[in-house]
Amino acid sequence: MCDACGCQTHTHSHDHDHDHGHAHSRDESVIVDINRSLFAANDALARSNREHFDDENLVVLNLISSPGSGKTTLLEHTIDNLGGEIKIGVIEGDIETERDADRIRAKGVPAIQLTTGGACHLDASMIHRGFHQLQKEPGGDKIDLLVIENVGNLVCPATFDLGEHKRIVLVSVPEGPDKPAKYPKAFTSSQVFLITKTDLLPYFDFDVKEATGEALNLNPALEVMDFSATTGEGFDAWLDYLRTLVKQAKER
């Protein structure tokens, strides 16, 4: 159950019979109205966030994936390779602990940890507060690239706009190639699809062409990359993609 978005399946049973078929329409309409208001408020703040980021000439990425797909490892290796060229800041989202933010800080990069305490996603208001906190960190007011590592799952994070410029969905080889079919919203709402941990392909039944094809059937505009951050194989495409985004932002 998500403490923030109410995305749980709400079911209940009765021990009495009805002789009418009203299906609790009043309760359902209240839930719909509340959810509509929640998303409208979030989207409005997301637009405000994006305008603020544009004013700062920032590129903002929102990474979404299942837990363990390699988001933090991706960030660590990105920092190792681009830290001398691009000033990077990170907002980490998790239900509890500061472990991922600590890993990023160890690389000498400003990072803020947002712990949701039960919510299965970040929202635009959290990012608004987190970004202002990040700007107070040493070097946090001079970044070129802000990366938001969302809470690990492929459901709710796909629904909430944070004000990012690009949404990046990751699937690692051990997870299997069926994630686009199972979680289509994550792929239809993203601009980039990263297949990670390709160094493990010899050990898992993962067909890169199958995963890529299913994702592109859902969203033909997706940019797809597959690589191993650990070995570096194929990683240059990701680094060049980021260089291009930052260059374009500076020319805005």
Whole-model pTM: value is 0.87
Q: Is the pLDDT of residue 227 over 70?
A: yes
> Which burial class, exposed, middle or buried, applies to 232 when counting CB atoms under 10 A from its CB (0-12, 13-18, 19+)?
middle
DSSP 113-172: EEE-TT-SS--HHHHHHHHHHHHHSTTTTS-SEEEEE--S-SSGGGT---S-SEEEEEEE
CA 228 to chain centre: 19
Secondary structure of residue 243 in the 3-state scheme? helix
Angle at CA of residue 96, ends 152 and 191, nearest 5°: 25
Q: Stretch 223-250: mean pLDDT, rounded?
A: 97
The pLDDT tens digits for 58-112 are 999 999 999 999 999 999 999 999 999 999 999 999 888 899 999 999 999 999 9
DSSP lists the bridge partners of residue 94 as 115
Look at residue 251 in the predicted model and tell me its pLDDT: 87
- Give 3-state DSSP helix, strand, coil % of the chain, rounded to 5: 45, 15, 40
Measured on CA atoms in the order 161, 164, 166, 170, is the torsion positive or negative?
negative
Nearest Cα to 88, choosing from 147, 137, 128, 168? 147
- CA-nearest of 113, 127, 156 to 2 is 156
* 73 alpha-carbon distance from chain centroid: 15
Confidence of residue 242 (pLDDT cuts 50, 70, 90): very high
DSSP string, 66-104: -TTSSHHHHHHHHHHHHTTTS-EEEEEEESS-SHHHHHH
Of the candidate CATH numbers 1.10.3720.10, 1.20.970.10, 3.90.15.10, 3.40.50.300, the domain formed by 25-250 belongs to 3.40.50.300
Identify the band that residue 11 occupies on the pLDDT scale cut at 50, 70 and 90. Answer: very low
What local confidence, expressed as pLDDT, does residue 20 receive?
46
What pLDDT is stored for residue 29 in this prediction? 58
